[in-house]
Amino acid sequence: MLLYYIIVFFVLSRTTIINCIPASDSLKQPLYEIQLHKPEGSDEHYYKILNAERYSQFSTKFYDLKNVLSSTISLKADYTSRLWATYYGNIILGSNNNERNSFKVLFDTGSSEFWVPYEMCLSQQCLNRKRYHKGSEWIAKHDKHGNYVPLEIKYLSGQIDAIDGTATVNLMNGITLKDVNVGLATNIDIPFLDNAHWDGIVGLGFKTKDMESRGSRPLFESIMYNKSLYPNFRNQVAYYVTKNGGNISFGGINPNYKRSLDDEFLWAPVVKDSIYWTLKLKNIKIKNNIDKKVNSLVKQYEFTSLMSKIDDVKVIMDTGSFLIYAPQSMGPLLSRLQVSSCKEMNDKPSLIFVLEGNKGSDVNLELRPEDYTIMYEGSQGEKHCSLGIVPDNQQEELGFSAWTFGELFMRAYYTVYDYESREVGFAPSKKSD
């Protein structure tokens, strides 16, 4: 019996990866580009993505998307509380725009499997979400005895049992992908999903050994192997989120989602032998404003380093999480960053995460107090603030010390996940809310 295991931890809106094993090195071909963004309540429409002049100032890592039409759909923020959210968009199983087979899915860099609920699933969590009614769009995989191939996806807080198979997938822009590996969930037992409003998960990680043993591949390889895609598109996905929604694009970027067109992407390589988007953290610096004069033209800062050169700490990029998770050793720092009121944010320091870049360079990512603090309204409309960084109590499961950067971090940085070069790019994000 072939069983696939993904160890994932859900806390609030979190998916933390536990296993890191060698990734496939076959992800070398260029991919296709779509855009997913529609402000809530607006109509779907088509637009032309930026002219060549806009792109001429950016790195050749990005494909020139002139004359490419792209549909816009909602990447919606799903708030399961006043504090945190997950983000989902729509895909369709089948080659036609059949709403009957349209599913709300979470695009997750923290996993590699693609699954949606099956009509035969009668668990309460299946009954509370849309289920796929089997048709010609999906074909089951069978073992040598002619039996369905079971798929078991385990989480620390529960598990999903599914049937392995392939399907035609419509990415909502006339982009139809054949033979995409999609599991149909026959049982969902994850308490976290009780309050979520999306149906399934599309994993954006690399191929795992388990997938390889089943003859399966993640979404990006399925895109790569389809022949109907435009040539020369980058093998990458760009991810942009705000408080209300966002955008996910396959194959290129939209510079309009950067804070400034002059901002360049900074690139950090994925740690060797990791199947997920794991980066090397070299240092954390505390940036204090030592000039408290409000009208001072030249600010003065002092910097304090928290790590030594011998520390082995990683960063996991996880779009399936919302909060930022810190190693237990960062407890004193988190105590210092806590706020009891929003006014206290003005007295808090900025954090600079120094990642290992290419060829020995440093990638400096600054989070200001307003970036790592969650601001929300109370029941009477009053403003509240809460620290969005929490200690990770599952470090022993990881096998190494790590930070997990969830959606809260990605509100501050427009991120690009390049499958060909196995790098993550960062640029300050445009604030639209």
Catalytic residues, by residue number, are 108, 318
Number of alpha carbons in the 13 Å side-chain half-sphere of residue 179: 10
Rounded CA gap, 313 and 8, in Å? 19
Q: In angstroms, how far is CA 339 from the centroid of its own chain?
A: 27
Torsion of CA 408, 412, 414, 417, to 10 degrees: -50
Rounded CA gap, 119 and 100, in Å? 12
Rounded CA gap, 17 and 115, in Å? 17
The percent helix, strand, coil of the chain (3-state, each to 5) is 15, 40, 50
SS3 state of residue 329: helix
Secondary structure (H, E, C), 359-410: HHCEEEEEECHHHHEEEEECCCCCEEEEECEEECCCHHHHCCEEEEECHHHH
Q: 176-196: buried (b, 16+ CB within 10 Å) or exposed (e) per residue?
A: bbeebbbbbbbbbebebbeeb
**Length of the chain in residues, anyone?**
433
Q: 297-317: buried (b, 16+ CB within 10 Å) or exposed (e) per residue?
A: eeeeeeeeeeeeeeeebbbbb
Rounded CA gap, 299 and 312, in Å? 33
Instruction: Judge residue 399's burial from the number of C-beta atoms within 10 Å of its C-beta, 0-12 exposed, 13-18 middle, 19 or more buried.
Output: exposed
Task: Please state, as a whole number, how many other Cβ atoms lie within 10 Å of the Cβ of residue 395.
Answer: 17
Longest dimension (CA), the chain: 77
